[in-house]
Amino acid sequence: MGAFLALGLFQGAVYGLLAVGIVLVYKAKRVFNFAQGEFGGVAAFTAFAIVVGAGLPYWVGVVGGLAAAVAMGLIVERVIVRPLESSSRTIMLVALVGVALFTIAIIVLLGQPIPRVMPPLIAGGGVNILGAGILPQQLILMAVLAVLAAAMAWFFKTDMGLAVLASSQDTRAAQVVGISPVAVSRLVWGMAALLGGIAGLLYAPVGIFTPGFMTLTMLVPAFAAAVLGGMTSLPGAFIGGLAIGVVQNLGIYYLGQQLKVPGAAELGVFALLMLVLLIRPQGLLGKEA
Amino acid sequence: MALLEVENLRAGYGSVPVLHGVSLSVDEGANAVLLGLNGAGKSTTLMTLAGLLPATSGEIRYDGKPLTGSPGARVRAGIVLVPEGRHVFPALTVKQNLRLGAWTIRRDARRAHRNLLEVYQIFPRLQERADQTAGTLSGGEQQMLAIGRGMMSSPRLLLIDEASLGLSPKLTEQVFAAVQLINERGVTVLMVEQNAGVLAQADTAFVMQQGRVTITGSGSETLADDVVRAAYLGV
């Protein structure tokens, strides 16, 4: 069971990272970013091309992957989001689904639609902590998360961070004090892309990965995590991600392995989402509308 | 010397024109009021001056030069709007709201701090409420915060849009008194109002009707004007 819990926390943290990116964009722009997963996809495939394809050091792959993700975020912001700023949210949503599919198609075209194996940053077996085998990759994740949490907490105390919060609360008022909406929009999409890229780099080495792996397997649980957290709370989104990862894997353990219920992971998540939305419709850390 | 000169300004929302040639001139150091009924185009005038709406034609001169550029550039030039309906940042604290008011001078921490102390001096209530979120303030306090936030970037020209909206007569008087104090400290003020009571403290007054300035004069002259008395004071 410990192994399932550890796996759940790990997967959940990746969902959480994506969910924080989703909420960041949603808070600022009231846009559901269906391209969030592909920021991770682009980061993972770029890093793979650098590390495995070109044989360069791992850190070059990490930097290159994250740079590619942020570049994609800024391009999406400029080419898709800003021109559609005043159109309906449905059009925006469909456009972003289009971005995800287009990106997957490009990745397939550039490489091949075959599964790839990304080596982990630190190879080797697991460390035994409280009876569960913890992989080095999972320890790296913990360290990355601690740094990210501290960085985010710091950022939202700076003038820039306050400007992002202010713009999401009242765009007009932010303009009135001289904050440029374009600068905030770029910053938000860049940050969301960075978070997505980190999620992709952390998750890719866990198993084999194929084009679209982030969108197809990670995006829906990440959206569930964002909703669970209240859609407007960054810590809420992350906690929501952890909860979903854990419930998925405990579902597999209890319902799947012991009671042989099919679709146990999805069932667990569904039950959790229904339960939370029934008891707290505003989400775990969301404010009542 | 005129700090702000507006000539034949036209603007509107999309294809709906609201301003049909507004002309007015505000001297440096003036305490000016733009009076008008709902829909006369007062807010549209201020929004156009602040760069939030594009002018379709006409000219705005500020400090002798044609005024163009983004809202942010205009704040840096010293033109600050206190918008109608306050528009404070509800989930941020009073202090954070004021800090964002100093956005354009954020690299000059000394000046931002001086301005903060000045705002606290004018509105002691804001200092008492410094760590409270703006959304929990009363309407009057939010209006004080909106004006205080406008003061944080060291404006030369403060555009205040209906500060008295929704306030009790007593609070309205307090807010007007604070604006007068700000003006006495050297900030040129252009206030939009429906409340003719403000004319008593104004040295310049404009009355707007249907997208044009129809009456221009001193505050007391305008207060004595028959049209104004009939329309705003019901006498």
**A106-130: pLDDT as tens digits:** 999 988 778 888 887 776 666 666 6
Q: Supply the pLDDT for residue A126.
A: 67
Q: Assess B126–A contact: CB distance below 8 Å, yes or no.
A: no
**Residue-number span of the structural domain to which A200 is assigned:** 2-279
How confident is the model over B3-45, as pLDDT tens digits? 999 999 999 998 889 999 999 999 999 999 999 988 899 999 9
How distant is the Cα of A153 from the closest Cα of chain B, in angstroms? 15
Say how many domains are in chain A. 1
Min mean pLDDT across A123-132, A228-237, B86-95 is at A123-132
Contact B31, B201 (CB under 8 A): yes
Q: What is the mean pLDDT of residues A39-55?
A: 94
Q: Is the pLDDT of residue A288 over 60?
A: no
Look at residue A256 in the predicted model and tell me its pLDDT: 74
Q: What is the pLDDT of residues A170-205, one digit of tens each?
A: 999 999 999 999 999 999 999 999 999 999 999 988
Q: Judge whether residue B226 has pLDDT over 80.
A: no
Question: If 0-12 CB within 10 Å is exposed, 13-18 middle and 19+ buried, where does residue A101 land?
Answer: middle
- pLDDT beyond 80 at B235: no
| Interface ipTM | 0.90
Classify A11 in phi/psi space as left (phi over 0), alpha (psi -120 to 50) or beta. alpha
Query: Considering CB atoms only, which of B50, B96, B99 is closest to A176?
Result: B50
Specify which residues B100 forms β-bridges with: none
pLDDT of residue A125: 66
For residue B141, what is the DSSP state?
H
Q: Does A180 touch chain B (CB under 8 A)?
A: yes
Identify whether the C-beta of residue A222 lies closer than 8 Å to the C-beta of residue A22: yes
| Cα A15 off chain centre by | 5
The average confidence (pLDDT) of chain A is: 89
Say which residue, A288 or A159, is predicted with more confidence.
A159
* Tokens at B190, concatenated: 């252009």
Q: How far apart are CA B106 and CA B153, in angstroms?
A: 9
Which residues of A fall within a CB distance of 8 Å from B83? 172-173, 176
Does B75 lie at the interface with A, CB-CB under 8 angstroms?
yes
Q: Is A286 a domain residue?
A: no
According to DSSP, the residues that pair with B34 across neighbouring strands are B192, B206
Q: Does some domain include residue A37?
A: yes
Determine, yes or no, domain membership for A284.
no
Mutate to test the interface with A, among B103, B119, B153 (most CBs of A within 10 A): B103
Identify the pLDDT of residue B234. 61
Confidence of residue A131 (pLDDT cuts 50, 70, 90): low
Asked if A283 and A230 count as a contact pair (C-beta separation under 8 A), the reply is: yes
Nearest by CB: B92 against A166, A175, A176: A166
Is the pLDDT reported for residue A74 higher than 50?
yes
Q: Name the pLDDT band for A289 (thresholds 50, 70, 90).
A: very low
Of B88, B106, B152, the CB nearest to A173: B88
Residue-range domains of chain B with CATH: 29-51+69-204+216-233 (3.40.50.300)
| Interchain contact B113–A (C-beta under 8 A) | no
CATH classification at residue A234: 1.10.3470
CB B199, CB B205: distance < 8 Å: yes
Q: What is the 3-state secondary structure (H, E, C) of chain A?
A: CHHHHHHHHHHHHHHHHHHHHHHHHHHHHCCCCCCHHHHHHHHHHHHHHHHHHCCCCHHHHHHHHHHHHHHHHHHHHHHHHCCCCCCCHHHHHHHHHHHHHHHHHHHHHHCCCCCEECCCCCCCCCEEECCEEECHHHHHHHHHHHHHHHHHHHHCCCHHHHHHHHHHHCHHHHHHCCCCHHHHHHHHHHHHHHHHHHHHHHHHHHCEECCCHHHHHHHHHHHHHHHHHCCCCHHHHHHHHHHHHHHHHHHHHHHHHHCCCCCHHHHHHHHHHHHHHHHCCCCCCCCCC
